[in-house]
Amino acid sequence: MSTARPDHSQRPAPAGAGTPPRPGWPEIAVGLLALVAATAALLLFGPMGMDLDPVPYGLVVAAWSGVAGLAGFAAAALLRIRSLAAFSVRRTTWRWMLIGVLGGLVALFAKGILTYAVTILTGLESDPQGMYYDAAGGGVLPLILTMLFLSVLTPIGEEFLFRGVVANALLRYGPVIGVLSSSVVFALFHGINIILPAAVVVGAIAAELMRRSGSIWPAVAVHVVNNLALPLLVLATGYTGPA
């Protein structure tokens, strides 16, 4: 019987060995560039350059915000990381989902106060989301589609990119930098306008819940609650945005 030690040097590496534990700057760069490219495609070839009525125009823009986010996430995920868990895309509990809903309500209340304060202090009243009110107020089918696009597709697309990729990558520098800086990036991609402070609040609460739960889904719940408020406002009151 041989007494030589077995040679483990040729043993296959465990699955996933060598992959980054979380996304990094390359994923941020590729994901955000893909988002910009998708948005540019909308500007060049989509409804921005067409003479569409307000309702179909608003529906296309509402859908595209989710599509562009998913395009950015897909580009980042395909770069070098194969496990979706690296982006916090993993199962969670109903308790964390309830916390996400409650976090969404807190964000909705806080951003309402912030938006009102910004309006009073700056005199800005123009709402860059006016096309969504047009879409939601176009009848039963446009209202349903607006709900689906704004409250399902957009939260998933934007959370997968801005929290799954950007926040997870920046959390390597600590929770404060990771949560706040990723929220600022999220807000800046909504434009320099009246809703920027509100987007920071929503992004910060979503990022913190993702960090604490280890899952993207409570962050999606935060986003769903906030985006659902717009079509529900139109449904309940007939409100179609500021004049």
Which pLDDT value is given to residue 99?
Answer: 98
Which pLDDT value is given to residue 5?
Answer: 46
**pLDDT in single tens digits along all 243 residues of the chain:** 444 444 443 333 333 444 457 899 999 999 999 999 998 888 777 665 567 788 998 999 999 989 999 999 999 999 988 789 999 999 999 999 999 999 999 999 999 999 888 888 877 767 778 889 999 999 999 999 999 999 999 999 999 999 999 999 999 999 999 999 999 999 999 988 888 999 999 999 999 999 999 999 999 999 999 999 999 988 887 767 665
pTM of the model: 0.87
Cβ atoms of residues 19 and 80 within 8 Å? yes
Residues 6+ apart with CB under 8 A from 228: 147, 150, 151
* Every domain of the chain and the residues it spans: 25-83+90-237
Cβ atoms of residues 200 and 184 within 8 Å? yes
Q: With CA atoms as reference, report the closest residue to 163 among 204, 201, 132, 107.
A: 204
Locate 188 and state its tokens. 């800046």
Which pLDDT value is given to residue 12?
Answer: 34
Residue burial 4-19, b: 16+ Cβ < 10 Å; e: rest: eeeeeeeeeeeeeeee
- Amino acid present at 163: R
Q: Which residue is listed with tokens 């202090």?
A: 121
Alpha carbons 152 and 220: distance in angstroms, whole number = 9
Largest distance between two CA atoms of the chain: 90
Question: pLDDT (tens digit, 9 = 90+) per residue, 50-75?
Answer: 677 889 989 999 999 899 999 999 99
Which pLDDT value is given to residue 17?
Answer: 45
